[in-house]
Amino acid sequence: MQVWPGQPYPLGATYDGVGTNFAVFSESADRIELCLLGPDDVETTIELRETDAFVRHAYLPGIQPGQRYGFRVHGSYEPARGQRHNGAKLLLDPYAKAMSGTIDWDESVYGYHFGAPERRNDLDSGPHTMHSVVINPYFDWGNDRPPRTEYHRSVIYEAHVKGLTQLHPGIPEEIRGTYAALAHPALIEHLAKLGITAIELMPVHQFVRDHRLRDIGLSNYWGYNTIGFFAPHGSYSSVGDRGQQVQEFKSMVKALHAAGIEVILDVVYNHTAEGNHLGPTLSMRGLDNASYYRLAPDRRYYTDTTGTGNSLLMRSPHVLQLIMDSLRYWVTEMHVDGFRFDLAATLARQFHEVDRLSSFFDLVQQDPVVSQAKLIAEPWDVGEGGYQVGNFPPLWTEWNGMYRDTVRDLWRGENATLAEFGSRLTGSSDLYQHDGRRPIASINFITCHDGFTLRDLVSYNDKHNEANGEHNRDGESFNRSWNCGVEGPTKDTRVLELRARQQRNFIATLLLSQGVPMLSHGDELGRTQGGNNNAYCQDSELSWVNWPGDGELLEFTQGMVWLRRNHPVFRRRRFFRGRPVAAAHDDLTDIAWFTPGGEEMTERDWSASYAKSLTVFLNGAAISEPDRRGGRITDDSFLLLFNAHHESLQFIVPREHGEEWQVVVDTTLATLPTPGTGLRVKEGDGLWLADRSLLVLQRPA
């Protein structure tokens, strides 16, 4: 076999049509061998002799896509000094564009012997681990274009590749649970009718099934256990994992883009699947442990701010390069449109504390590719000072956990919630306005993958995670949920009606709020997990979307999404001012707040702990934003009547804010009124709102 010197960049395996360049970083290795695997897993070994800036490299003519490979790294094995090299371990390439096979959790994949963690383990892991794969980078993108939907027009749909599609009757069985299923017309039609503009996929970077979960018959369903930051997860492919998953993923993106739907990836750059000091040696641990991971003062152990055993070393230039190269690759080569960063506070831990000025954010800010993608932070981790909602840089948007908590508290009847609810409904200016950000910085959500589904939120007071094998100890115990009077399934029609109304209340509130709404997959269909609020290990019908679901709830959700889409007053680009806008040519403020009695709210009304009801006036003539043609955006005006009280209340339509109004949303009804048929009322009229219900009144411009 010919071996040419090759190039140190790009890192990973790069096929050019004739051969493949291999490049891998390790500052601490004495020697690195490239291992090419044949049909019977027989290894052909080539030592990487060329070195530039700690990158070993070689070019091999004739090496084609589909070739499996790995690295064997020789050097010091001194855990007390932070290094764990061992040539007996076949290592994955951190830059591999595809990975093949699975880990069978034989003792050989560990750096120590079971029962004797102080003893070095020299068993060969090659037959028991995954392999990196050379891919064909060429793909016919045709006329693919990113939709580039503006944030204020976005409706995000968080989804799991398998969970969303596995039971869909309109998708052929042989492709269910795969990237091809997401590209199927039946699935795209559902998203398009729902009005979704972006699908946010739970982790699709190659991840690992945990040893512990395998032993108890469960799996890492969610995928927050990444081992490959460039590789699409192989088991989500319908055509194989020898590089075909890359082509299938690209075809999925192309199909979604053709329907005007953006693709956002939930990415896990804060840790890897190698776990703590007792974890397996799969990739970075064996390449250069001290360069990739944050080590504790006792360098045998890891600093863990993620709850997974390790955290990547965010002050290492090689870790930062790995993450930035990965992000850039997914935008330029895979055509994705944005990223949601899991436990993003860890990415800000350059040293110990969370620092919004850390190197990672500087690199993102100046990168001409990554900075233009949608960047969404999960603004917390499990370390000290990790809750950072509202504290990310101006370029970023954030999952707004305060929005979720406040809206849940309002509708379950908690006291003293009105004032904070007012902030959350209007875009959380208290969190984002201080550094020049706008309402779009707030990604609003009621539910997500982590916690109860929407249906379970109104059906359970307590978690029911017994199926997870941890005696119901896992998962959040404080869910801000309310079962409406009965725990779990019931035939009580009054309870069922209330639960249905509460689901509509949550969906309506979400889509009437300023900011960017995010729905969790299946919530529009009434999906349940039987009270399990931590289904991370449940790759089963417990967590899959059960189609067709609740058709009335789906119709209601579709109606609310389209109401939002058709009326810019619900998706303003700027915060409310709370005063009249000169360009509106009237003397009405852009927003006003009223008691149920129709009087303007006072400080005393806001602070009344028992108050759970109010009316909000949104002035469509006072949006005060330019349109695309240089004019000014105007809209109809609306009154939002919220009654989260446990009894029905009479609301008075405020005077001097519009003579005549029409009901366009009533959450006591299963679906929205047909346009033009809703109840008409006049200023000063009284309206009785049922307990825990919401009305929206519209006044044409």
Catalytic residues: 342, 378
| Kind of pairing between the strands at 397-399 and 442-445 | parallel
Residue 250: C-alpha distances to residues 223, 515, 599 (Å): 20, 30, 56
**Backbone phi, psi, residue 659, to 5°:** -75, -40
Peptide bond just before 10 cis, omega within 30 deg: yes
Type and span of the H or E element at 214: helix 211-215
| Kind of pairing between the strands at 262-267 and 693-699 | unpaired
Cα gap 663→673, rounded to integer Å: 8
Q: Where are the alpha helices (DSSP H) in 394-458?
A: 401-412, 418-425, 429-432, 454-457
Distance of CA 261 to the CA centre of its chain: 16
- In DSSP terms, 500 is beta-bridged to none
Cα gap 513→426, rounded to integer Å: 6
Contact 398, 377 (CB under 8 A): yes
Cα gap 288→293, rounded to integer Å: 9
Residue 95: C-alpha distances to residues 9, 227, 355 (Å): 11, 10, 27
Nearest to 451 by CA among 390, 408, 387: 408
Residue type, 394: P
Cα gap 615→598, rounded to integer Å: 8
**Six token digits for residue 125:** 């892991």
**Six token digits for residue 84:** 């764990």
Nearest to 536 by CA among 127, 85, 206, 210: 210
| Residues contacting residue 174 through CB under 8 Å, at least 6 positions apart | 238
Type and span of the H or E element at 189: helix 185-194
**Backbone phi, psi, residue 567, to 5°:** -130, 105
DSSP assignments along 52-119, one per residue: ETTEEEEEEET--TT-EEEEEEES-EEGGGTEE--TTSPBPPTT-SEEES-----GGGBSEETTEEEE
Peptide bond just before 8 cis, omega within 30 deg: no
| Kind of pairing between the strands at 397-399 and 374-377 | parallel
Place of tokens 């970075």: 284
**Six token digits for residue 510:** 């979400």
First to last CA, the chain: 76
